[in-house]
Structure 1
Amino acid sequence: MAAVRTGLLAAVATWAIVVLPALVGWIAAPESSLGWFTAVSVGSALWFVGHGQTVVGDGVAVSVTPVLLLLLDVYVTARFARRLFATQREVLPASRVDRTLARVLVPGFVGGYVVAAAVIAVLALGGPVGPGLLAVAGAALVPLAAVGALLLRPDDDDAPGFVRAWFRRGPTWLPAVWRIGWRGAGVLLLLGAAVVVARVVLTVGSVVSMQADYRVNLVGAAVLVAGQLLMLGNAATWALGFVAGPGFSLAAGSVVSPVAADPGLNPAVPLLAALPEQAAYPPLLLAVVLLPVLVGALLGRWVDAALEFFGNTRARFAAVATAAALAVVVVLALTALANGALGVERLAAVGVPLAPFVPALLAEVVGGACLWVGLALLRERRAERDAAAATDGRGDADDDDDADDDVDGADDDRDD
């Protein structure tokens, strides 16, 4: 029961993250004719959207997951799960911890979370949009991700024994590569976020002007800004689509890529004022695809610094390629959640086209990591040749000195 109760509390905590701002926004707009329960219902629907689920109402579907909200929910849920697991480890015999964790604690925690999701779904039905039955079960994405983040750690003493055993059955370099791959995913997302921030800074006048057009009070403006900040993670994945080459679209028929920009007609969201105007770009801008290559090279450097392969070139390439591929897979999973629908017709498909994006980003990051290893091998072999040449040179010089000494000795003998 402790696991179920903790799962319920975790769901309530993540629900409060979106419902409280919704209520604040309702209080800040006294002229609104909507009641407080509608604000709760809208916040409850947003809770499902933040869990990677689709909500529908009046023929309008919303399936774009706010990535930062999703990650925040996973973090909060992981804190509850960590406390649950730590408490149970203190009272259970060591021989029963792994079995209880796998058969009782994790299922109970996830089950309690899903039960809370069912209650939240009922609350969402009072608003303009609501989740379906599949969304209730799909909300388990967050507790499963939180539990996975806690338990899938190869070197953590708190990880179950079967997890550590699984990592030990793989290559010796797998634990280090696992950590580096997740770190690389963070670097890729930071790269996308940096591109977004740079673009917003360059167009801050247009963004502020559109924000002012809403004519809301200070609290309403704060809620509006917070809502846009939650979409920064989505914008980061879309920016990665740009730097990888395929680009992204925010409306049907639109595209923003290093080749050209045609943003089309978009909603009046201040952040979208940072989108470029319609234009064709010079071929030189395609150099942005080198940025993911550099991230791959950075991952290769980290793997080389963390591990010693003792001349095993095949294992070295396999390790850096695995780290790079893991980073790309994590980013692609978040990108798939960041894509989706924000409405109908023009807004029915928002985000990065995955079909060209997957091979492009994978080739660039893995290629950069392997390129780093190739250059490192060339440097190492050149250093070995230089060292061997220097050794041979010293050996020849020593032989010449010995020969001169022998000649001098023979001359001395003749003089005697």
Structure 2
Amino acid sequence: MNLRERLHRQPPPTPRDSRRPALPADWPLAVRAGVEAVAFGWGAVVLPTLTLYLVDSSRDAAAALTLGGVLRTGTGIWSLGFGGAMGTPDGDYGTLSLPLLGLTLLQAWLTRASVRRARISGPAAGAIAVLAAALTAQLITVATHPVDSRTWTAVIGVTVLNAIVIAGYLQRSGRGWAALSAWRELRPRWIGLASRIAGELALVLVGLAAVVALLGLIVGAGRVSRLHDALAGGSLAATAGLVALQLGWLPTWMVWALSWLAGPGFVVGAGSVFSPTRVLAGAVPALPLLGGLPTAAIGAGGGGLPFVIAVAAGVVAWRHRAVLRELPLRQAAATTATVTALVALGVLLVCLAASGQIGPGRMAEVGPRSGYVAAIVALMVLVGVGLVAVLPHPRTRALTFRGVEATTAATGAVAGRVREHLKARSDKR
């Protein structure tokens, strides 16, 4: 019997165990899962930073004394994935707080891989894993906190992210909360359908955002290349560092692409706007990824781009048309409203997560126009899903047919009274 099997094997209960709660048998595995998830995520940023430093620096004692500064810089970059910030508004370079959503996704994947490998037994072990992750993040920020930076928010961000991922894993694996599992089994049919449609539509929106983001980079490939060459200067280490940094910002760029497709667009500096119908640009940092920013509006056709989202919503709903038509009309309408609310809330959250600062002055305002984007996406989803779920519904057709019949009958009655009235007047004459 290996260590994992011994830890997962619960000892028989004793009277003493019944008097006070005990730690789950697999708590060492839970601690390991929480620690390694955060440590690997931090190491994925700090180790390349340290490697690039060693490649580009001289091997003397003076350089060795700055290794602590390299670690602090790596921690500052790591914190950008979880709500952190580097620098201060009063500094020469301002504040850098534009989230590296690529690091956020990497941390989510590492956490899920760790808890799957540990096979934690339930909510108690999951809580221990989350606590271990929080303490590890706290230790990292205390030991390598950069000067004039905000890294304490990374502790909160890492803790919340780990809690969400671990709770989701436990619930899906059947080792979560029994009450939530029972509710899932007993929930109304339309709620489950709404969650499925919303999940599928979210994946479709990710695909649309990826296509728009890729097209932007292809169109601006020349500018991207020139900016990259100017910053890298032909250095292989600098090239690798620039590529890695921009991979971290690639999901952020995709959120901007979705906001552009929705119509309201995004800003890169106060007073600027990048949307299909209007482009007001200004000076931006020389980051190669920003070479893919639109340089001009696409004309009158840009106003129709948001309807791509409506079409996508309609296509996703069409896949579930048989189930939608089996539901009562009220539940079909509730499904439409729920899908709209879930998708709009998700879009609002990711837009807020893709906003921040990338410098002083006007660069303190960067990111999607979150409220407008969420509102337009909600409207498009409501139209797309509603056209499939509500309008063709058998009850809607029946009500429409009754309405037409009633209108026809009322019109005929009015016409008959008018004819009788005209006939009576002609008889009097």
TM-score (norm 1): 0.79
**Match among 218, 224, 229 for residue 247 of structure 2:** 229
Following superposition, the deviation at residue 169 of structure 1 comes to 4.4
Deviation at 1:147, TM superposition (A): 1.7
Q: Relative to 1, partners in 2 of residues 1:184 and 1:68: Cα closer, same or farther, differing over 3 Å?
A: farther
Tell me the distance in 2 between the aligned counterparts of 1:276 and 1:234. Answer: 16
Q: Deviations over 1:178-204 (max 9, x none)?
A: 243223222212211210101111221
SS at match of 1:140: helix
> Offset of 1:311 from its aligned partner?
5.0
CA contact (8 A) 1:28 1:217 kept: no
Q: How far 1:219 moved relative to its partner?
A: 3.0
- The alpha-carbon distance between structure 1 residues 203 and 343, as it changes in their structure 2 partners (threshold 3 A), is closer
Between 1:28-37 and 1:338-347, the stretch displaced more is 28-37
Structure 1 residues 358-396: Cα deviation after superposition (integer angstroms, max 9, x where no partner): 2111111222111222454489969xx9xxxxxxxxxxx
Distance apart, 1:234 and its partner CA: 0.8
Structure 1 residues 122 and 370 mapped into 2: Cα distance closer, same or farther (>3 Å)?
same
- Structure 2 Cα separation of the partners of residues 107 and 208 of structure 1: 47
Q: Determine the structure 1 residue equivalent to 2:109.
A: 75
Q: Which deviations, in whole Å up to 9, do the C-alpha atoms of 1:204-257 show, x marking residues without a partner?
A: 122112211121422321221121122111111111111111110011111011
Identity of aligned residues (%): 28
Report the Cα offset of residue 117 of structure 1.
0.9
Whether 1:48 aligns to 2:79 is yes
**2 CA distance for matches of 1:239 and 1:378?**
38
In structure 2, relative to structure 1, the CA distance for the partners of 1:379 and 1:234 (3 Å cut) is farther
- Equivalent position of 2:66 in the other structure: 35
**2:271 alignment counterpart:** 253
Cα distance in structure 1, aligned partners of 2:294 and 2:326: 50
> Could you say if the C-alpha distance between residues 143 and 63 of structure 1 is closer, same or farther in structure 2, counting changes exceeding 3 Å?
same
Quick one: which of 125, 129, 132 aligns to 1:109?
129
From the superposition, tell whether residues 182 and 31 of structure 1 become closer, same or farther in structure 2 (CA, over 3 Å). farther
Residues 123 and 171 (structure 1 numbering): CA distance in 2 closer, same or farther, change over 3 Å? Answer: same
Q: Distance in 2 between matches of 1:52 and 1:366?
A: 32
Write the distance in 2 (CA, Å) between the matches of 1:233 and 1:331: 13
Query: Which of 42, 47, 65 is equivalent to 1:20?
Result: 47
The separation in 1 between residues aligned to 2:181 and 2:274, in whole angstroms, is: 44
Q: Matched residues in 1 for 2:298 and 2:332: separation? A: 39
How has the CA–CA distance of structure 1 residues 281 and 310 changed in structure 2, closer, same or farther, with 3 Å as cutoff? closer
1:274 and 1:378 map into 2 onto residues whose CA distance is: 48
Aligned to 1:414: none
Rounded Cα–Cα distance in structure 1 between residues aligned with 2:333 and 2:395:
16
1:11-410 paired onto structure 2 within 5 Å: 11-30=38-57, 35-57=66-88, 59=91, 60-84=94-118, 86-88=119-121, 101-102=122-123, 104-125=124-145, 127-153=146-172, 157-214=174-231, 215-277=233-295, 279=296, 281-304=298-321, 307=323, 309-310=325-326, 312-374=328-390, 376-377=392-393
Structure 1 residues 280, 377: closer, same or farther in 2, change over 3 A? same
CA RMSD of aligned residues (A): 2.7
Local SS of the residue matching 1:20: helix
In the TM superposition, residue 68 of structure 1 has moved relative to its aligned partner by: 2.1
1:8 matches 2:35: yes
Partner of 2:7: none
The answer to whether the 8 Å contact 2:213/2:253 transfers is yes
Q: Return the alpha-carbon distance in structure 2 between the equivalents of residues 105 and 350 of structure 1.
A: 40
How many residue pairs end up in the alignment? 364
Q: CA contact under 8 A between 2:84 and 2:154: conserved in structure 1?
A: yes
Higher alpha-carbon deviation: 231-240 or 325-334: 325-334
Question: How many Å separate the matches in 2 of 1:56 and 1:328?
Answer: 33
Alpha carbons 1:66, 1:234 under 8 Å: kept? yes
Instruction: Tell me the CA shift for residue 298 of structure 1.
Output: 2.5
Instruction: Tell me the residue number matched to 1:410.
Output: none
Deviation of 1:339 (Å): 0.7
Alpha-carbon distance in structure 2 between the residues aligned to 1:152 and 1:53: 30
Measured after TM superposition, the shift of residue 274 of structure 1 is: 1.5
Q: Secondary structure at the match of 2:266?
A: coil
Bigger drift between 46-55 and 337-346 goes to 46-55
Instruction: Provide the C-alpha distance between the structure 2 equivalents of 1:229 and 1:138, rounded to a whole number of angstroms.
Output: 20
> What are structure 1's unaligned runs of at least 5 residues?
89-100, 386-416
Name the CA distance, whole Å, in 2 between partners of 1:40 and 1:221.
20
One-letter amino acid matched to 1:233: P
- Which amino acid counterpart does residue 291 of structure 1 have in structure 2? V
TM-score, normalization: structure 2? 0.77
- Alignment CA distance shift 1:374-1:310 (3 Å): closer
Q: Secondary structure at the match of 1:213?
A: helix
**CA offsets 1:314-341 (integer angstroms, 9 cap, x no match):** 2223224423432332232122111112
Paired residue secondary structure (2:267): coil
